[in-house]
Amino acid sequence: MSDIYESAANSLGLFNSPCLTKVELRVACKGISDRDALSKPDPCVVIKMQSHGQWLEVDRTEVIRSCLNPTFSKVFTLDFYFEEVQRLRYELYAISSSHNGMREVDCLGAMECTLGQIISQRKFTKALLKQGNTVGKSSIMITAEELTGNNDYVELSFSARKLDDKDFFSKSDPFLEIYRVNDDNTQQLVHRTETVMNNLNPVWKTFKTSLNSLCSGDHERILKCTVWDWDSNGKHDFIGEFQATFKEMRSAMDGRQVTVLIIQFNFFIIIKMHSFLDYIMGGCQIQFTVAIDFTASNGDPRNSCSLHYIHPYQPNEYLKALVAVGEICQDYDSDKMFPAFGFGARIPPDFKVTSLTFIVMGVSTFLNFAGIQGVVEAYQNCLPKIQLYGPTNIAPIIQKVANFASEEMHTKEAMQYFILLILTDGVITDMADTREAIVHASHLPMSVIIVGVGSADFTDMEMLDGDDGILRSPKGEPVLRDIVQFVPFRNFKHASPAALAKSVLAEVPNQVVDYYNSKGIKPKCPSEYESSRTFGH
């Protein structure tokens, strides 16, 4: 590992932020060595998490008596943050009793990984390393499962028959209210239907509500439904009511009509809202691409004032941003081979001016580099070979990645989502083309992260980020969804690079889910995904 890469990577830390979701981890071990010919070991696994460079114990499994291939019943529940590197360490111990009755503890091996690696594999198997980092015969398997919340939606349809007529000169004007009965017996209105005028046999419109709003995720919670006759003066007349639990209402799920007093359930459907982890655990890979600005405004890389200056121990802003974001994304790409492009430079052998993208190595024929470390080394090797020039055109690189994403879109499967990281020191010179490219890319499985390096005025770049309004192409076509996140690096100059990663990657999980939901693409179930691939750990 290069000093620059290690320096940048080691500066990553943990930050408190809203938890994306919770995951449950289960542990099993195989091939534990039997040190004592007369008895088998009593294994136990300790899980630790790294915080500020220190390994802190999170929890430990139970001790299983006399077992060489234990499957532990203990379930570890951890908060998952996509935008952070969460480093874990598993330590396997053998607990035994000596001849004098004292308990002895032997460390049989350890394994380090990230939570992201476990989640992206769903079943993560790795050899345990003994003291001295030698590979032993025993291995550990971590199985991850999302702790599902109450994100599902319920679709309901109600009607009524032969309602009481509360009006003298016309029929009743009924509407329905549904209340959730809380633990303290208070009532929370969940939904109020439209009013059906002059009708004793109303059929109200189908509506959707979250499972959380309807019953707080409690299937035994009582729901109260009340029918009123609407009056223009607001003094509505009571017609009737009934109570039922969510579980009782689910009896209508098979499509048959269920009548409770005067109310009839026409149908009851639970709509599964897929999460980011559903897609990741279903085999969706994050395809990470980086594009680096090599225009002359960065300054001569041989000069210490240059934004591309390579200090022997202190990474420049380009490297800090690359490592901060790439360290996280690489956990969700199984082959960890990343394309790296440059723009705005004259490249060998003829050093012609080109606004198109080029492979970072300049004269290299290799498109992909092994891991973020490989990209870092390619960037360092590239600098002496090229001439910084211009212009700052980023539309070509967006279009290039969009071509990859377009091929994926036509598969109509949730298997590859593309993230393009653009590192640039100035305002782009092809704004119109860039807007056009982003609008096109918003229809594809991709997101764009732009980090502004240096002290330039990036005001014009803010318009590419749809947070303050809807980005439109020069022809007026709006983006289908917000896929761009722009941040100036100087906002994080005195913070850990992890703060930068947290800022630019926090929106990615929702962008992934929004894209696949908009296309009606469901994640593959884990069993379907596992049957289509071979594990190689």
Q: Where are the alpha helices (DSSP H) in 366-428?
A: 371-382, 395-409
Instruction: Return the closest-CA partner of residue 339 out of 419, 409, 425, 439.
Output: 419
- 């990657």: which residue's tokens? 505
Instruction: Return the closest-CA partner of residue 345 out of 298, 288, 400.
Output: 298
What tens-digit pLDDT sequence spans the chain (537 residues)? 444 444 444 443 333 444 558 888 989 999 988 766 667 788 999 999 998 888 999 899 888 888 899 988 888 889 898 988 999 999 999 876 554 444 567 889 999 999 999 999 888 999 999 887 888 889 999 999 887 655 677 888 888 888 888 766 778 899 998 888 988 888 888 888 899 999 999 999 988 887 777 887 788 899 998 999 988 877 888 988 888 888 887 765 554 555 555 666 665 666 677 889 889 989 999 999 999 999 999 999 999 999 999 988 889 999 999 999 999 999 999 889 999 998 888 887 777 765 456 666 443 444 688 889 999 998 998 898 888 988 889 999 999 999 999 999 999 899 999 999 999 998 788 999 999 999 999 999 999 999 999 988 888 787 887 655 688 899 999 999 989 999 899 888 888 778 888 888 988 998 999 899 888 898 987 555 554 444 333
pTM for the model stands at 0.72
Q: Which helix (H) or strand (E) holds 24?
A: strand 21-30
Which phi and psi angles does 470 have, rounded to 5°?
-95, 120
Q: What is the DSSP letter of 110?
A: E
How far apart CA 125 and CA 142 sit, in angstroms, is: 6
Q: How far is CA 17 from the centre of its chain?
A: 14
How far apart CA 339 and CA 49 sit, in angstroms, is: 31
How far apart CA 447 and CA 276 sit, in angstroms, is: 14
Q: What is the percent of the chain where pLDDT is above 70?
A: 83
| pLDDT per residue as tens digits for the range 379-407 | 998 898 888 988 889 999 999 999 999 99
| pLDDT per residue as tens digits for the range 476-504 | 999 999 899 998 998 888 887 788 888 88
Q: Which helix (H) or strand (E) holds 324?
A: helix 317-329
